Structure 1
Amino acid sequence: MSYNNVDINSLAQRLVAARKSANITQDVAARHLNVSRPTFIAIEKGARKPKPEELVQLSELYREPLNQLLRRQATPKLAPHLRSVLDPSAHGQEGLDAAISKLTNFIEDYQLLEEQANVRLSGEFPPPIRLAASQVERFAEQCAKEERERLNLGSYLPVNALRRLLEKVGIHVFLDAVDSKLAGLYAFAPDFGYCILINRLHPLERRRWTIAHEYAHFLTDRDRPGVDFITSSGRKPLNERFADAFAAEFLMPEVGIKKRFYEDIERSGDFNVGDLCRLADYFMVSVMASCLRLESLKLIPKGTWDQISEEKVPVGTLKQQAGITEKIGDGDPIEPYPERYRQLAVQLFVSGKITEGQLSKFLRCDRIKAREIVESCSLTQDDANGSTSIVPLSLGHSLISNARGDNE
Structure 2
Amino acid sequence: MAFISNKGNKNLDTYNKKTIDEIYNHAENLGIETQPFDIFAYISNIPEIDYWEDYFDDDISGKIEYRTSGIYQIVVNKYHSVSRKRFTLAHEFAHFVLHKDFLKQGNKLEDIILFRSSNDTGNKKELEANQFAADLLMPKIIFDTEIKKGNNKINSLADFFQVSSAAIKYRAFKLGYLKEY
TM tier, smaller: 0.7 to 0.9
Structure 1 residues 176 and 218, CA, compared in 2 at 3 Å: closer, same or farther?
same
Please tell me whether residue 258 in structure 1 is matched to residue 162 in structure 2.
no
- The partner residue of 2:54 within 173, 176, 179 is 176
Partner SS, residue 179 of structure 1? coil
- The partner residue of 1:237 within 117, 123, 128 is 123
Please tell me whether residue 152 in structure 1 is matched to residue 28 in structure 2.
yes
The residue that corresponds to 1:227 in the other structure is 110
The residue that corresponds to 2:175 in the other structure is 297
- Maintained 8 Å contact 1:252/1:283: yes
The residue that corresponds to 2:73 in the other structure is 195
The residue that corresponds to 1:16 in the other structure is none
Post-superposition offset of 1:179: 1.6
C-alpha RMSD over aligned residues: 2.9
After TM superposition, the structure 1 = structure 2 runs for residues 65-144 of structure 1, keeping only pairs within 5 Å, are 120-122=8-10, 123-127=12-16, 143-144=19-20
Count of aligned positions: 167
Partner SS, residue 76 of structure 2? strand
After TM superposition, the structure 1 = structure 2 runs for residues 260-339 of structure 1, keeping only pairs within 5 Å, are 260-264=146-150, 271=152, 275-298=153-176, 300-303=177-180, 305=181
The residue that corresponds to 1:165 in the other structure is 42
- Maintained 8 Å contact 1:181/1:230: yes
- Maintained 8 Å contact 1:145/1:253: no
Aligned partner of 2:24: which letter? R
Rounded to whole Å, the distance in 2 between the matches of 1:279 and 1:234 is 23
Higher relative contact order (CA 8 A, sep 6+): 2
Rounded to whole Å, the distance in 2 between the matches of 1:248 and 1:195 is 21
Unaligned runs of 5+ residues in structure 1 are: 1-101, 115-119, 130-142, 266-270, 306-408
Partner SS, residue 168 of structure 1? coil
TM-score by length of 2: 0.78
Rounded to whole Å, the distance in 1 between the matches of 2:58 and 2:160 is 26
Rounded to whole Å, the distance in 1 between the matches of 2:162 and 2:70 is 30
Return the structure number with greater helix share. Answer: 1
Unaligned runs of 5+ residues in structure 2 are: none
- Maintained 8 Å contact 2:95/2:129: yes
| Residue-by-residue CA offset, 1:84-109 (whole Å, 9 max, x unaligned) | xxxxxxxxxxxxxxxxxx9xxx79xx
Rounded to whole Å, the distance in 2 between the matches of 1:235 and 1:261 is 27
Pick the structure with greater CA Rg: 1
Post-superposition offset of 1:251: 0.4
